A = this chain, B = another copy of it.
């Protein structure tokens, strides 16, 4: 089979054996935003044409390709959902010479009825489930970080935190960014920001503290981005994590390292999982689907 993880800014394809072993792979800077005039079929054929010519028939895709801005919208599936429920809700697209389907995103409403959504992470989670087990708490850091509860081997519910995007907006477009100099991660400043997130006053007040600490010479220009990162991740972890929880982390090392530090500082136990979970998830979902 062929698995495709097609997001907003990148395209990753995997040719896999039935057991999920990756036999070949392709990566391209061809996110859905780079595909013009909705020519997704042509873009896909150009990337995986040789594998199709070689006899592959089944193509399963996940990520923003299934969003309203993508090829076809694969409607959000309600939680709880595991590989079986997801495999039963694939959206098909018209494509010559292959059976191409798209994994749905997931939707979950909290106790107040406010919805939350994911698209792409459900496939990573299904791929990571064998390592995580049937019960657990999982964090996928990123632009929109996800905290996910696994119950009986299925995704039972989740909460999204806009931490990464808020960091970028604050750094790029507020007075806080104007005092920040490019510098490597400053672990001490990150820890100070983490500690500050536990203080009273709330995040909107703590943010101004970044500026006041800088103005008063107590926070160096080269340390303030790390302090801000610690402050925001600290607020996220304190809101998302029950005390003393074990938290499985899925993501790149650049993201899982600070989150592991934050989880530890807040009394939790981080367990870093393999980040290459999307291909495995596509293989597991494909294994649960009935291809004709």
Contact = CB atoms under 8 A, between A and B. Distances in A.
A162 interface: yes
A240 B144 contact: no
A68 B238 CA distance: 36
Contacts of A159: 201, 205
A222 interface: no
Contacts of A196: 112, 114
Interface in A101-120: 107, 110, 112, 114-117
- Interface bin, chain A: 35 or more
Interface stretch (A15-23, A32-40, A54-62, A213-221): A213-221
Interface stretch (A88-96, A127-135, A169-177, A274-282): A169-177
A76 B107 CA distance: 50
A205 B159 CA distance: 7
Interface of A: 76, 107, 110, 112, 114-117, 144, 159-163, 165-166, 168-170, 172-175, 196, 199-205, 207-209, 212-213, 215-216, 218, 232, 235-236, 238-240
